[in-house]
């Protein structure tokens, strides 16, 4: 294990004493603990920085699989459907992770202050693989975690320390990707605008060509850049976010499968059921029953469980458990 995260391991372990997801500092940081491996399941990642502190996990983004070993980190540059699994965790050596939500508007301001994008990086447009946690970032994240026990200081110090983390990211290996996200009319910013539009319009009827037109790109160029950012084609991305949203509608809002299918844009309930079963491994009915049984057997009141979830695509809470990872890339 990297010496950079030793103190973080102790501090996160002291706060996250039970398996599951714990949100702290007004939901801006999530802590994760698992005492056993977790099978691969789909989930949604959001803009932020994830760090694996102990144990290990795999993250599949499109066709690429990234191994997150202890001491590794991964930048999630956008809202990405992924498949994640915890591969090494034991009761006496649990998986521990942390996720810090980043502020895109503040990142834009900081990038402007650091100067123009280097010429050799202007065409850079892809997600970034895992890398070892930087000592400076690890130290800053440790100070963020310390604020959990100092709520009187958190309001003023949290934005300052998070700003330090974003500055360090801009000046490190993730810098080109982060700058591309906010550089006007860069390929990545165009794709980010499309992802933002899809967040609110995923249930609409449109084609990949329609999205390419909105991005002011040819269809082939759009597909190339979209896959570079998300790891998948536009229609694959659309299908996955529709199915993930349908899942939370069935679990949190108690919609039946047909209603959820229509709500997220499917015209055929049978097609929805087939694609849902391929993505989650079981039918919608069996999957939601399994999730409800899991929550009930955990002993955690559902009101408390929902407090541990994060915002879904439509602004509603998204279900997370240790066996159905909805976790960011910790």
CA distances from 6 to 12, 71, 134 (A): 10, 9, 13
Please, which pLDDT band fits residue 89 given cuts at 50, 70 and 90?
very high
As a whole number of angstroms, the distance between CA 263 and CA 56 comes to 36
Q: Considering the domain boundaries, does residue 146 fall inside one?
A: yes
Query: What is the domain count for the chain?
Result: 1
User: Is the confidence at residue 284, as pLDDT, over 80?
Assistant: yes
User: Is the confidence at residue 46, as pLDDT, over 70?
Assistant: yes
Between 84 and 201, the higher pLDDT residue: 201
Q: What is the pLDDT of residue 140?
A: 96
Q: Which of 66, 222, 85, 215 is nearest to 129 (CA)?
A: 66
Please, which pLDDT band fits residue 275 given cuts at 50, 70 and 90?
very high
Please, which pLDDT band fits residue 88 given cuts at 50, 70 and 90?
very high
User: Is the confidence at residue 69, as pLDDT, over 60?
Assistant: yes
H or E, element range at 30: strand 29-34
Please, which pLDDT band fits residue 128 given cuts at 50, 70 and 90?
low
Average pLDDT over residues 279-299: 83
Q: Which of 127, 128, 133 is nearest to 53 (CA)?
A: 133
Q: Is 75 helix (H, G, I), strand (E, B) or coil?
A: strand
Q: Considering the domain boundaries, does residue 286 fall inside one?
A: no
Q: Considering the domain boundaries, does residue 79 fall inside one?
A: yes
Q: Considering the domain boundaries, does residue 296 fall inside one?
A: no
Q: Considering the domain boundaries, does residue 124 fall inside one?
A: yes
Please, which pLDDT band fits residue 305 given cuts at 50, 70 and 90?
very low
Please, which pLDDT band fits residue 329 given cuts at 50, 70 and 90?
low
Q: Considering the domain boundaries, does residue 92 fall inside one?
A: yes
Place of tokens 């996990």: 57
User: Is the confidence at residue 63, as pLDDT, over 90?
Assistant: no
Q: Considering the domain boundaries, does residue 167 fall inside one?
A: yes
User: Is the confidence at residue 29, as pLDDT, over 90?
Assistant: yes
Maximum separation of any 2 CA atoms in the chain, in Å: 55
Average pLDDT over residues 57-67: 88
Which range is least confidently modeled, 7-11, 75-79, 213-217, 304-308? 304-308
Average pLDDT over residues 20-27: 92
Instruction: Take residue 135 and report the two structure tokens written for it.
Output: 């000592």
Which range is least confidently modeled, 198-207, 242-251, 311-320? 311-320
Q: Considering the domain boundaries, does residue 43 fall inside one?
A: yes
Q: What is the pLDDT of residue 127?
A: 59
Structural domain boundaries enclosing 104: 3-179
pLDDT in tens, 140-190: 999 999 999 999 999 999 999 999 999 999 998 888 888 888 887 888 889
pTM, whole model, 2 decimals? 0.81
H-only helix segments in 126-256:
135-146, 151-170, 175-182, 187-201, 208-214, 219-230, 234-252
What's the CATH code of the domain at 93?
2.60.120.10
User: Is the confidence at residue 317, as pLDDT, over 80?
Assistant: no
């Amino acid at each position: 294990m990297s010496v950079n995260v030793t103190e973080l391991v102790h501090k996160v372990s002291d706060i996250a004493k039970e398996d599951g997801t714990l949100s702290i500092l007004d939901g801006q940081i999530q802590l994760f603990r698992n005492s056993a491996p977790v099978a691969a399941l789909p989930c949604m990642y959001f803009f932020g920085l994830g760090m694996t502190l102990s144990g290990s996990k795999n993250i599949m983004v499109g066709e690429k699989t990234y191994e997150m070993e202890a001491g590794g980190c991964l930048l999630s540059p956008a809202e990405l459907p992924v498949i994640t699994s915890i591969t090494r965790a034991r009761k006496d050596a649990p998986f521990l992770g942390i996720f810090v939500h980043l502020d895109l508007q503040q990142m834009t301001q900081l990038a402007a202050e650091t100067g123009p994008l280097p010429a050799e990086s202007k065409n850079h447009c892809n997600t970034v693989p895992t890398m070892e946690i930087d000592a400076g970032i690890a130290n800053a994240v440790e100070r963020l975690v310390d604020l959990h026990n100092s709520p009187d200081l958190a309001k003023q110090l949290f934005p300052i320390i998070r700003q330090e983390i974003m500055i360090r990211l801009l000046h490190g290996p993730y810098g080109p990707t982060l700058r591309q996200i906010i550089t006007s009319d860069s390929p990545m910013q165009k794709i980010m605008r499309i992802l933002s539009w899809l967040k609110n319009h995923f249930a609409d009827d449109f084609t990949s060509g329609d999205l390419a037109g909105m991005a002011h790109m040819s269809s082939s160029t759009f597909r190339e850049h979209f896959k570079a950012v998300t790891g998948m084609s536009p229609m694959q991305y659309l299908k996955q976010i529709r199915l993930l949203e349908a899942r939370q509608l069935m679990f949190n809002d108690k919609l039946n499968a047909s209603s959820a299918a229509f709500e997220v844009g499917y015209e055929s309930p049978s097609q929805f059921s087939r694609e849902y079963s391929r993505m989650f491994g079981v039918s919608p009915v069996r999957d939601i029953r399994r999730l409800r049984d899991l929550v009930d057997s955990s002993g955690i009141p559902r009101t408390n469980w929902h407090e541990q979830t994060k915002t879904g695509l439509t602004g509603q809470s998204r279900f997370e458990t240790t066996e159905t990872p909805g976790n960011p890339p910790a």
